[in-house]
Structure 1
């Protein structure tokens, strides 16, 4: 069940990050993959900075979306 939860949260976070990063999206499927990876990056980033977001599904989606936005921003630098 944990894997399914991670995939669902990553998909939502990737879609949200694609909407937030205007011009930074790579299409729906790749944005979903980036959302899943973004969840990992977001958790690492916030743990390193000592920041804690909301608990539960909303906090997981926000963390994933922010992490995916960071990844989309960096990937956008290499895309040009």
Structure 2
């Protein structure tokens, strides 16, 4: 997959995951980064459980990236939430 495809996949996945987790986007750049990191995390987690990871620019890859981005967002909010309390 080319860099443009990764950026587009990252934007889509990051935006959707942000809407699912906290009902608002994180901003375009953060959504892209979140989606790309989410794609890597999702692909890694899928390989652990025996599934296919990112297979190209298709619906399955977007779903895997969204799953990974949701995991990344949950971890981010858990860590950031702990810092502000106290």
TM-score range, shorter chain: 0.7 to 0.9
Provide the rounded CA distance (Å) in 2 between the counterparts of 1:60 and 1:46. Answer: 11
Q: Which ranges of structure 1 fall in alignment gaps of 5 or more residues?
A: none
Taking structure 2 as the reference length, what is the TM-score of the superposition? 0.79
* Correspondence list, 1:25-64, <5 A: 27-28=26-27, 29-52=29-52, 57-64=58-65
Matched residue SS, 1:51: coil
What is the RMSD of the two structures over their aligned residues, measured on CA atoms?
A: 2.0
- Structure 1 runs of 4+ aligned residues shifted over 2 Å read none
Question: Which 5+ residue runs of structure 2 have no aligned equivalent?
Answer: 82-86
* Greater relative contact order (CA < 8 Å, ≥ 6 in sequence): 1
Query: How does the TM-score come out when normalised to structure 1?
Result: 0.84
Distance 2:73 2:18 in 1: 8
Q: Larger Cα Rg: Structure 1 or Structure 2?
A: 2
Aligned length: 78
| CA positional deviation for 1:10 | 0.8
2: distance between equivalents of 1:26 and 1:77? Answer: 17
Q: Deviations over 1:15-71 (max 9, x none)?
A: 000011026x67222122111110011001001111247x65111111111100000
